[in-house]
Chain A
């Protein structure tokens, strides 16, 4: 069942309940009002009969009273019987035959005195076929004599009258209720359509994005309701997806480059060397002069195959970290010699690039720590090589180590291009490379795995790795527990 239909149904049900409630309240109040009205009408009729009786008794003219009483039944439909009596003497009666004569009936109109009266009343009762009659009575006193005034109504007729009135009320209520429900249905259709429209748009957006088009965005982002939030979040999600997609593309291109580049270089050297060899075959005398170049090329080939091996080792490390199978072997060790060795490894490259690379222990005697020396060395090699890569000629790379409470802090600081604040946190994520950062590097660009491995190694030691940058150069810190 669609949301639109459900919404419509819910609105309709709600309106139906409201209509029923208001309808029943209206019906009961209408009924009460009707009953009250009948009662007061009866009082009025009784009162006017009493007035007419008083007047006619005062003027000693009974004709008015007799015709008035007889007419009552014609005028008021529910009225069954009315009479005015003095003691047992009937002065006026709706049935002209009964007046004036001695009262044959008790006040209730039931008890009978004489046989002829009995017959008369019985036929009377028969005529009304046992319909119950309720009486209202009043006593008036004229010239010191008391008279009884009474009007009797047929319960059945009264009830039928009430019933008929209430039925018409009910019809009116039902008619109004039905039109309200109809209006509510139309309104609900329009309203649920209005509510569903943005959801439909969202469904479409999801479908388009699901097909792989990451450029589709929802426009209705300024709404202040949940749909607005949903639209904004959807756009944010697609932005993020696009970012990830770009990251993936960058990764693929950097991995391809990182694989192709050294292999291409090795092949180029080999092609060059075999070309030289074939040329030397024609001119054997030139061979000794070419030999040093040859040896140099072999060392370049070696460098490239090392670069390839390092890259593969990085990929394997990353895969181990992913699987949670990355293990380190901690032993008590001094960190200072490890740092010195790593720095020494890069001295020549630093000199060649015109960068000053130095190490300083800021705390005199660094304590022993539980380390996997090989892995910590890997971390330092990574950080120093990064620092050299991003530092221009004439710059400085400074490695420091100090004790800070129960921690040893090692920092690698450079005077390179620095890192935007927004990227500092993401640096240690797998395959992340600062956008545009690669463009500042001459030679191998790296794969975005180095810092991810650095972080994992340091965390496996129970320490932490973080980067700082002031815009002018950056500083990578390792904190290892003593």
Chain B
């Protein structure tokens, strides 16, 4: 069973992502802050990270940078899911080696299709 860590502080998006991914057989773990996210990462070692940009303590980009800096997390796939839709923001995210950048709100079919493809 693939494990997904959702780093998201708004409960609505957590609800939507959970309802989309759980029926597809993913195990969901949720963190609200970068600090919690980094702690959980050590414990669960997920296959996929879904990261929001604006988080209470730090930004999702900073989180991704820290994850990418560690060799043991090399194989983790990372997608970003943010309300920020500027091209420059997407570019920044891709510079940090995210696998895909979703802008909120996500389209369920496209989202699931893309996630499955990324995890293949």
Interface residues, chain A, with chain B CB atoms under 8 Å away: 257, 260-261, 264-265, 267-269, 271-272, 275-276, 293, 297, 300, 304, 438-444
Restricting to B90-110, which residues have a CB under 8 Å from any CB of A? 104-109
Asked whether, in the complex, the Cβ of A272 is within 8 Å of the Cβ of B16, the reply is yes
Q: Does B66 belong to the interface (CB within 8 Å)? A: no
Q: Which residue of chain B is the closest to A275 with respect to CB atoms?
A: B108
Asked whether, in the complex, the Cβ of B32 is within 8 Å of the Cβ of A264, the reply is no
Asked whether, in the complex, the Cβ of B20 is within 8 Å of the Cβ of A442, the reply is no
Asked whether, in the complex, the Cβ of B12 is within 8 Å of the Cβ of A272, the reply is no
Asked whether, in the complex, the Cβ of A441 is within 8 Å of the Cβ of B105, the reply is no
Q: Which residue of chain B is the closest to A272 with respect to CB atoms?
A: B16
Asked whether, in the complex, the Cβ of A304 is within 8 Å of the Cβ of B56, the reply is no
Supply 18 further A-B pairs (C-beta < 8 A) apart from A265-B13, A265-B16, A442-B33. A261-B10, A261-B83, A264-B83, A264-B105, A265-B105, A268-B105, A269-B15, A269-B16, A271-B106, A271-B107, A271-B108, A272-B19, A297-B15, A300-B15, A438-B56, A439-B56, A440-B57, A443-B10
Q: Determine which of A264, A269, A275 lies in contact with B109 in the assembled complex, contact meaning CB atoms within 8 Å.
A: A275
Asked whether, in the complex, the Cβ of B19 is within 8 Å of the Cβ of A257, the reply is no
In the docked arrangement, what's the CA distance between A268 and B20, Å? 11
Q: Which residue of chain B is the closest to A260 with respect to CB atoms?
A: B83
- 9 nearest CB pairs, A to B: A265-B12, A275-B108, A268-B105, A267-B105, A268-B16, A264-B104, A442-B9, A264-B105, A442-B32
Assuming A257-B83, A271-B106, A272-B19, is B10 touching A265 (CB within 8 A)? yes
Q: Determine which of A264, A268, A441 lies in contact with B56 in the assembled complex, contact meaning CB atoms within 8 Å.
A: A441
The range of chain B's interface size is 20 to 34
In the docked arrangement, what's the CA distance between A269 and B12, Å? 8
Across-interface contacts of A261 in B (CB, < 8 A):
10, 83
Shortest Cβ gap from A205 to chain B (Å):
31
Q: Does B45 belong to the interface (CB within 8 Å)? A: no
Across-interface contacts of B108 in A (CB, < 8 A):
271-272, 275
Q: Which residue of chain A is the closest to B33 with respect to CB atoms?
A: A442
Shortest Cβ gap from A447 to chain B (Å):
15
Asked whether, in the complex, the Cβ of A257 is within 8 Å of the Cβ of B16, the reply is no
Asked whether, in the complex, the Cβ of B12 is within 8 Å of the Cβ of A304, the reply is yes
Across-interface contacts of A265 in B (CB, < 8 A):
10, 12-13, 16, 105
In the docked arrangement, what's the CA distance between A272 and B24, Å? 14
Shortest Cβ gap from A385 to chain B (Å):
15
In the docked arrangement, what's the CA distance between A46 and B58, Å? 113
Across-interface contacts of B88 in A (CB, < 8 A):
none
CB<8 Å pairs between A and B, sample of 25: A260-B104, A261-B83, A264-B83, A264-B104, A264-B105, A265-B12, A265-B105, A268-B13, A268-B105, A268-B106, A271-B106, A271-B108, A272-B16, A272-B19, A275-B20, A276-B19, A297-B15, A300-B12, A300-B15, A439-B58, A440-B56, A442-B9, A442-B33, A442-B56, A444-B10
Across-interface contacts of B9 in A (CB, < 8 A):
442-443
Restricting to B1-51, which residues have a CB under 8 Å from any CB of A? 9-13, 15-16, 19-20, 32-33
In the docked arrangement, what's the CA distance between A441 and B13, Å? 16
Across-interface contacts of A304 in B (CB, < 8 A):
12
Assuming A271-B105, A272-B108, is B20 touching A443 (CB within 8 A)? no
Shortest Cβ gap from A103 to chain B (Å):
125
In the docked arrangement, what's the CA distance between A43 and B53, Å? 112
In the docked arrangement, what's the CA distance between A325 and B101, Å? 46
Shortest Cβ gap from B109 to chain A (Å):
7
Across-interface contacts of A440 in B (CB, < 8 A):
56-57
Across-interface contacts of A438 in B (CB, < 8 A):
56
In the docked arrangement, what's the CA distance between A14 and B32, Å? 77
In the docked arrangement, what's the CA distance between A275 and B17, Å? 13
Assuming A261-B10, A275-B109, A293-B19, is B57 touching A268 (CB within 8 A)? no
